[in-house]
Amino acid sequence: MSDVDSPWLVVGLGNPGPGYAANRHNVGFMVADLLADRIGGRFKAHKARAQVVEGRLGAPGPSSRRVVVAKPMSYMNLSGGPVTALRDFYKVPVGNIVAVHDELDIGYGALRLKLGGGDNGHNGLKSITKALGPDYHRVRFGIGRPPGRMDVAAFVLKDFSSAERKDLDYFVDRAADAVECLIVDGLERAQGTYNT
């Protein structure tokens, strides 16, 4: 279970480097970037092979929570190593870890928040679950299924289409709101407000 006094670790999943920056698979990084802006911090390199920002989320006062927002700088399928190192460094209980990731099985822009579960073939989740077990939170950001017979790997490593980009900022903003609500108000409230 989560612990009120412990920090939260929000991990945006993606691949490092400018070639991947606008890919569907990197929507976790996009949400992490927005959360860093809200905290008012800049990402700094961490020895855990990740970029991190530390700060607080929520209204100032007793309800705000200490948060570390991280972007693993390993590739997606090796995310478990940096997440484990950050958990150990910041002493974060597994129940206070939130992975933000792209999800093929829900429509574009839809969100689903949950605690635990399988990896549904997502290599980033597979790596984290192998390292930590399944009992961490997930904020699943829908990217929909590839059109026709397009290979899934090719689809997730493509940039969002121009039609999708029109709404992308709004959906990323909503996902960041959902993360903040999860941390400050709890999973049930966040699910009731943001699950679509």
* CA 119/CA 70 separation, integer angstroms: 20
* CA 20/CA 89 separation, integer angstroms: 28
Which amino acid belongs to residue 47? K
* CA 94/CA 129 separation, integer angstroms: 11
Q: Where are the alpha helices (DSSP H) in 20-161?
A: 27-39, 80-90, 123-132, 152-156
> Are 10 and 30 contacting, i.e. CB atoms less than 8 angstroms apart?
no
Residues with a known catalytic role:
25
* CA 97/CA 81 separation, integer angstroms: 14
Residue (of 43, 109, 58, 51) closest to 83 by Cα position? 51
78 SS3 class? helix
Q: Where are the alpha helices (DSSP H) in the chain?
A: 27-39, 80-90, 123-132, 152-156, 162-185, 187-194
